[in-house]
Structure 1
Amino acid sequence: MLTPPDLFQHLLEGSRQTFFIYSISAGKVLYLSPSYEKLFPGLLCENVDADLPQLLHWLPVDDQAYARECFVDLASGELRDDLLLRLQPGPDRPLRWLAMQAHRATAADGQELLTGSVQDVTVEQEYLRNADLYMAKKNTTLEILSHDLAGPFNMLRQLADFLEEKTQALNDPQVQNMIRVMQDTCRDSVNLIRDFVDGEFMGSASVELKRTRVDLAAELRQVMETYQKNEYLVAKWFSFETSRPSIYVEIDHNKFLQVINNLLSNAIKFTGEGGRIAVSLEQRAEHVLVAVADDGIGIPEQLHPVLFDRFTKARRPGLRGEKTTGLGMHLIHTIVQLHNGRIWFDSQEHKGTTFYIELPTAPGA
């Protein structure tokens, strides 16, 4: 029968994860499980101390400062769960994802240690990121289609209203009933489309945040490209600007992009045909600033203080009769706050509205 130390050694050496013990005091690795050599083919356990600079060099440039800052946090005792790092051993080698868990400990002889594990999670991350990509495109497409489909129904309802007015003199109950059916069908269809899109947003907003380090510039660029490709459907012009090609934040990818989609949806509702909607992203010293601006009808000044209230009195139909639940802005405000950010706006009637979102920068940004 295996004794407990033998049993733990057997478990460590048989695991897919690579376990390590690093002495902060001595600046060297005290223990490394054999799976290290499978995780990094061509490297040997006995050479790990000499290989550490090479491993850091394999991180993409965007991740190297991030990794250093995270290791400093770990060494100072701050815990980090599932630290994700990208790794690319060479220009012709595929990008890999590594998940590391570590914590600080003190040995019996007083040495300060980092103990933990590293595991290749490339397959899982590729799956999750493809799912995130699908979700982002799905939400953007739903917003575009909801406005595109609502337009014809609203036009038919206006025609039905016109027919009702013109046929009142006929005093024909059958004609009037048919017109009311047309009006109700158009109204219910528009509401059904909006309810579906709003339900998608509200349902996901109630789920706990799961933050990851995200290149927000790349994500917003992708969202705006979808809107730009479909400008003709909503009769608006879309633009995007960023102060840097890559800007990193730690956010819940799906929820934050839904916030952006919801702000863009509101901009579409309250901006006339041919109007302009612009999204910008700026890296600042301790935070990033996202702005969503339109040149639409603006928000009346008396509604400014209550815009983010739950079931706010500031809710009003869009220019084409789009309904609103009054929950959208409240949920946006809640999600931004959960990200330790803040949101505010500037608006004047007939001159447009700009929403600003401030988020903390990610480590190493």
Structure 2
Amino acid sequence: MKEIKSETERKGLSFVHIIVNFMSDFAALYWEQAEASPQVHFVYDVAAARVLFVNAAYETVLGGHREAVNAELPALLDRLHPDDRAYLVQYWQVLVRGQVTDEVEVRFLRPGQPEQTFCLTPYCSVNGAGSVLICGALRDISAAKSYQRNADAFNARKNAALEILSHDLGGSFAMVQQITDYLVMEVAVTADSQAAQLLQVLATTSRNSLKLIRDLVAIEFLSGTSAALQLERVEVGAVLREPLAQLQLGQGVLGFHFQYSLPPEPVYAQLDVNKFNQVLTNLVSNAFKFTPDGGQVTVQVEASSGCVRFHVHDDGVGIPAALQPHLFERFTPARRPGLRGEPTTGLGLSLCKTIVDWHRGTLTVVSAEGEGSTFTVEIPQVG
């Protein structure tokens, strides 16, 4: 029995040694990888308020000296973007309680140079002595953010161009179709004459071209809403200024009156910028559909008690009370052709509401016949 017990203990100790050796090798491998990583890896002791470890990337990415990282930490924190500080304080308070695992974006200012944007991937741990350690990696995403801003600006110009294409060129083909139909009814030509054949070709071409343009705009909107949601904390005025300016330019080309206003101070929200721009573009487009020539459409963005509101107001024909409860239904029975014959699929407002719901927001409408409509989007504001 003693021999069996001794053998069991020996095997148990061997297993423990294997585990200890494995963990030791794993830790050594991790530190080697962290040291060689182009990202900034760090370990911070919350109670001691000291950085216990930072890798060599700290020097190349943030321009510091790793042996002096604790002395340099106050100056580094002073470089945080002023608009991010309150938000990061709240994030840090939750992080040290071990309740946050989500990544967060951090912006640093550099004198005379573009700001740097980092993605912080944090992890909260408690060591054997009971100290809370914050481990993490800072990944420089400045280039990706610049690319995203350019892509969003391109999408804003594309949406404005599609609006011009839909309204201006589409309106021209609609007029050609109407004139052709009039000539067919009013001009006496024999059925087998060349003029009759040409009128038929003109009617078919204008009708097909008009359908093609409207289908193109509808497909673009529908395909954009099907992509995965990519939320990020953004300054609302900064990301909407370009799309709204493009809409203003485009509607001005069409001879319509469009104005917008943005908050005077920075306001932040979690947005998928491209999808949210599609919501605003679609609401503005709908407003012009039901606003007579010479009417006015206005977009007003405002911050209020923890939320951001976007009002799209028109002084058009308004919406009958009986239709309003069904506006946001898919293939809604409330769909109506526009004042200039623009068709509708009954999907636009339903998709807008879906996107707003994805942003944890609400989409509502206030309208009366003959008095215009106001659609309001409300989403949470973040620090």
Please give the TM-score of this superposition, normalised by the length of structure 2.
Answer: 0.88
- Does residue 115 of structure 2 align to residue 82 of structure 1? no
**What are the within-5 Å matches in structure 2 for residues 276-315 of structure 1?**
276-315=296-335
Q: Cα offset for 1:356?
A: 0.1
Q: Report the equivalent of 1:49.
A: 70
Q: Report the equivalent of 1:337.
A: 357
Determine if contact 1:234/1:268 at 8 Å carries over to the other structure.
no
Determine if contact 1:144/1:227 at 8 Å carries over to the other structure.
no
Distance of aligned partners of 1:40 and 1:337 in 2 relative to their CA distance in 1, 3 Å threshold? same
Identical-residue share of aligned pairs (%) = 38
Q: Tell me which moved more, 296-305 or 218-227.
A: 218-227
Determine if contact 1:191/1:323 at 8 Å carries over to the other structure.
no
The residue type paired with residue 151 of structure 1 is G
- Counterpart CA distance in 2 for 1:315 and 1:173 is 41
Larger radius of gyration: 2
Determine if contact 1:306/1:313 at 8 Å carries over to the other structure.
yes
Determine if contact 2:39/2:138 at 8 Å carries over to the other structure.
yes
**What are the within-5 Å matches in structure 2 for residues 349-364 of structure 1?**
349-362=369-382, 364=383
Q: Cα offset for 1:173?
A: 5.6
Q: Report the equivalent of 1:272.
A: 292
Q: Cα offset for 1:171?
A: 5.9
Q: Pick from 17, 30, 51 the counterpart of residue 39 of structure 2.
A: 17
Q: Tell me which moved more, 62-71 or 250-259.
A: 62-71
- Does residue 160 of structure 2 align to residue 140 of structure 1? yes
Q: Cα offset for 1:154?
A: 1.1
Q: Which has the higher contact order (CA 8 A, sep 6+)?
A: 1
Determine if contact 1:73/1:79 at 8 Å carries over to the other structure.
yes
Determine if contact 2:189/2:196 at 8 Å carries over to the other structure.
no
The residue type paired with residue 79 of structure 1 is V
Q: Report the equivalent of 1:60.
A: 81
Q: Report the equivalent of 2:5.
A: none
- Counterpart CA distance in 2 for 1:227 and 1:106 is 53
The unaligned stretches of length 5 or more in structure 1 are none
Question: For 1:237-289, what per-residue CA distance to the aligned partner results, in whole angstroms no more than 9, with x for missing partners?
Answer: 11111232422111111000111111111112111212111000111111011
Q: Report the equivalent of 2:255.
A: 235
Q: Report the equivalent of 2:224.
A: 204
Determine if contact 1:272/1:296 at 8 Å carries over to the other structure.
yes
Q: Number of paired residues?
A: 359
SS in 1 for 2:234: strand
Determine if contact 1:156/1:186 at 8 Å carries over to the other structure.
yes
Q: Cα offset for 1:34?
A: 2.0
The residue type paired with residue 271 of structure 2 is I
- Does residue 191 of structure 2 align to residue 172 of structure 1? yes
Q: Pick from 67, 71, 90 the counterpart of residue 92 of structure 2.
A: 71
Q: Report the equivalent of 2:14.
A: none
Determine if contact 2:173/2:206 at 8 Å carries over to the other structure.
yes
Q: Pick from 145, 163, 169 the counterpart of residue 125 of structure 1.
A: 145
Question: For 1:29-52, what per-residue CA distance to the aligned partner results, in whole angstroms no more than 9, with x for missing partners?
Answer: 2221121111221x2223323322
- Counterpart CA distance in 2 for 1:12 and 1:231 is 53
Determine if contact 1:221/1:240 at 8 Å carries over to the other structure.
no
Q: Report the equivalent of 2:28.
A: 6
Q: Cα offset for 1:192?
A: 1.1
Determine if contact 1:57/1:64 at 8 Å carries over to the other structure.
no
Distance of aligned partners of 1:94 and 1:300 in 2 relative to their CA distance in 1, 3 Å threshold? same
- Does residue 277 of structure 2 align to residue 254 of structure 1? no
Q: Report the equivalent of 1:30.
A: 52
Pairwise CA RMSD: 1.9
SS in 2 for 1:149: helix
Q: Cα offset for 1:105?
A: 1.8
The residue type paired with residue 32 of structure 2 is H
Please give the TM-score of this superposition, normalised by the length of structure 1.
Answer: 0.92
Q: Cα offset for 1:178?
A: 4.3
Question: For 1:204-257, what per-residue CA distance to the aligned partner results, in whole angstroms no more than 9, with x for missing partners?
Answer: 211221101112112222222112223343221111112324221111110001
Determine if contact 1:294/1:353 at 8 Å carries over to the other structure.
yes
Question: For 1:330-355, what per-residue CA distance to the aligned partner results, in whole angstroms no more than 9, with x for missing partners?
Answer: 10000000100000011112221110
- Counterpart CA distance in 1 for 2:26 and 2:98 is 29
Distance of aligned partners of 1:78 and 1:5 in 2 relative to their CA distance in 1, 3 Å threshold? closer
SS in 1 for 2:332: coil
Q: Which runs of 4+ in 1 moved over 4 A?
A: 173-178
- Counterpart CA distance in 1 for 2:333 and 2:42 is 57
- Does residue 118 of structure 2 align to residue 107 of structure 1? no
Q: Tell me which moved more, 208-217 or 104-113.
A: 104-113
Q: Tell me which moved more, 72-81 or 351-360.
A: 72-81
Determine if contact 1:211/1:252 at 8 Å carries over to the other structure.
yes
Distance of aligned partners of 1:245 and 1:191 in 2 relative to their CA distance in 1, 3 Å threshold? farther
